Chain A
Amino acid sequence: MSFIPGLGIVKGMGSTLRRFFEPKATIKYPEQQPDQAPKFRGRLQLLYDEWGTLKCETCFQCAQACPIECIDMGGVDTKGRFHVHWGPPETYGERRDESALRRSGRTVPDRAYEHFEPIDLLAVDAILDEHDHDPKRMLQILEGVQGAYGYLPVAAIKRISFKTGAWYAFIYGAASFYRHLRFEPPADAVQVAAVDRNRPNEEAYLARLDEALGGSRPRPRTRKVH
């Protein structure tokens, strides 16, 4: 590099003079909107308030609204021991409802503590006798119970736990592992029950209809499941 005194200054002055005529980088914001993608929602950031507490109150609205499911919710439990993760994105809608309930001050219903219907346990006892109260044959027991009731009622699982000595959680885990075992009545049975409840005279009406049509009415496939 040849050293000419003042050459650097001249170069610098030339550079600034070029900038002088170049288009400017400023965006006059209120009049002029920046050019950005319509999906742009700004920078994602968790904010802390002035006491250092997270401002997020896990309302799940952001996670549910996120169109590409890039927001994932998780954290540490209240005692700071375990990492918790609130399920797959499909369940964020339910989480959001729970959160709204919780923040409104009402109690959040928890299935585990809900009152369960007492059922007739004779069928359960019979199935347990048949399998010799053996917890190692739990799958067969559960399938039998589901065959008798149509699903696995909580009362039945408690009875199985009491009789076989297996933990409730163990039985619940085994049952929830298999796709064909369910803890609630199938949806169409629930619907039928609801129709029966709302229209107590359905049977009489259908009988009258059969009478009038001479028995040519198309039958629904299933009326009662269990």
Chain B
Amino acid sequence: MTVVARTWQRLTIPGRVLLALLVVGALLTVPLVLLIVFSDELLAIVGANLPIVRFVVAATAILLMTIPTAFVIIYIEMKGIALMNLRIGPDRVGPFGSLLSVVHGLKVLMKEDFTPTGADPTVFTWAPVVVYLASVMSLLVIPFAPGLFGQDMNIALLYFFAVGGLTVVGLLMAGWSSFNKYSLLGGLRSAAQVISYEIPLTLSVVGLLILAGTMSLNQLVLNQSGWFTNWYVFQQPLGALIFFIAATAEANRTPFDLTEADSEIVAGFATEYSGMRFGFFFFAEYVNVFIISALTVTLFFGGWNSPFPMPDIRLALDPGSLGIGLLLVIALVPLIGTLLFAAPFWLLRSSMPSWQALVLGFIVFNIVAVTLVLGWAFISFDWVAGLIWFMVKTYGFVFLFVWMRGTLPRVRIDQLMGFAWKWMLPASLLNLFVTAAAVIVVGALRGGR
């Protein structure tokens, strides 16, 4: 046993945490010093390669964003379906059980990661990565708010469908490399479903593209600004409906969740997967829910636009004008606010001990402060307002997906395929031709040609 190991063993648990933090702090100090010393050169390099830096930051942020998003959606799904089943659902871990999905994630992380004998280990390991990255990369073009998007491409929609189509590759990889005929059949069936619904999904958007004349998602959102009547859903109701249904099938959600069909077949292509590799498939499914909700909102429901023109309020509030007083305010306001909100609890409830009143006061102060800060940001910054509108709409659609899962029974595989080829495809073609004809007619009437 080395000296280091012996010293480490003699430390208490807080001591170990502190030591680890000290090491991390020391390691972080070095780049900070370097940054300060070479700040001019670094800034120059960053400024010269701004698009690359922006892309890297955006990709990292989106990759990091997907995990809490998946947790939140899993929680919404567990809780929502429980409430629709007249159950209570998760209510033990965290406030209203909201940390249960995180605990599930940790559980999956701790399980054995098993590779069956005879499986192709390389393909087997990379299949969940492909599925997950296909989801994450398609998030890159979604405009969350004015100025808040990974990359503004003029072919963003095309990119989205192209990268989203990579999911099929991942599913086939998973099914093929498992060395299990049932997994292979499950993978093939998933691929058949996803490819079948890809066609109406893409065709339903073509009508929209004819109307908008652009494939840039950012430009599409800008086209829908103003009142909510400008949203494309009112010009393309059939297209929106087809897009929504096809996207449901594309993300393997009820009533089209035949790839998983957790109550009937053993997870299809994911039969042989366990541990975090299974968790990646699971996460990818919920990230997909977020993505199709976000894309539906972006294409048909105005993206980050508010449904009505917001009154232009400018707050005559300049925190910088306070000078050194700003520091004083930041130091004192939490203290005073906590005491202020604790006072009524302490005065009105004689049975309440003072520390409980203080805790309650602190919580209430935090709620009020966060609300005030958010309100101020909503009014002052366009991108905060846009992000809030976007998230409200997107999570509305997420709830719609959960709601559908709580309501609709699963379809049969022949019904699924028949619906795609016999109804969705003709309907999307009809939508495309009618839109094109209408554009020509309206153009002829307006232009007098």
> A residues near B, CB below 8 A?
9, 12-13, 15-17, 19-22, 24-26, 28
Contact = CB atoms under 8 A, between A and B. Distances in A.
A28 B89 CA distance: 11
A28 B403 contact: no
Contacts of A22: 86
Nearest to A21: B83
* Secondary structure type dominating chain A contacts: helix
B407 A24 contact: no
Contact of A16 (B87, B88, B91, B403): B403
B403 A19 contact: no
24 contacts: A9-B408, A12-B407, A12-B408, A13-B403, A13-B404, A15-B407, A16-B403, A16-B406, A16-B407, A17-B84, A19-B84, A19-B85, A19-B86, A20-B80, A20-B83, A20-B84, A21-B83, A22-B86, A24-B83, A24-B87, A25-B86, A26-B86, A26-B88, A28-B91
B381 to A, nearest CB: 34
Contacts of A25: 86-87
Contacts of B404: 13
Nearest to B88: A26
Interface in B376-404: 403-404
A21 B88 CA distance: 11
Contacts of B87: 24-26
Contacts of B86: 19, 22, 24-26
Contacts of B84: 16-17, 19-20
Contacts of B406: 16
Interface string B70-97: 0000000000100111111001000000
Interface of B: 80, 83-88, 91, 403-404, 406-408
Contacts of B83: 19-21, 24
Contacts of A9: 407-408
A25 B83 CA distance: 10
Contacts of A13: 403-404, 407
Nearest to B255: A9
Nearest to B83: A20
A139 to B, nearest CB: 73
> Which of A17, A20, A26, A28: most chain B CB closer than 10 A?
A20
Contacts of A19: 83-86
A94 B122 CA distance: 77
Contacts of A16: 84, 403, 406-407
Nearest to A11: B407
B410 to A, nearest CB: 14
Nearest to B80: A20
A26 B87 CA distance: 6
Nearest to B86: A25
Contacts of A24: 83, 86-88
Nearest to A6: B241
Given A9-B408, A28-B88, 13 more contacts: A9-B407, A13-B404, A16-B406, A16-B407, A19-B84, A20-B80, A20-B84, A21-B83, A24-B87, A24-B88, A25-B86, A25-B87, A26-B88
Contact of B403 (A17, A21, A26): A17
A214 to B, nearest CB: 79
A21 B404 CA distance: 16
Nearest to B404: A13
Contacts of B88: 24, 26, 28
B268 to A, nearest CB: 25
For the complex of A and B, 4 pairs with smallest distance between CB atoms: A16-B84, A16-B407, A26-B88, A25-B86
A216 B55 CA distance: 125
A9 B87 CA distance: 22
A25 B408 CA distance: 22
A6 to B, nearest CB: 9
A17 to B, nearest CB: 7
A128 to B, nearest CB: 82
- Interface centre among B80, B84, B85, B87, by most A CB within 10 Å? B84
Contacts of B91: 28
Contacts of A28: 88, 91
A20 B88 CA distance: 10
A108 B269 CA distance: 68
Nearest to B241: A6
The winner among B80, B91, B408 for most chain A CB atoms within 10 A is B408
Nearest to B85: A19
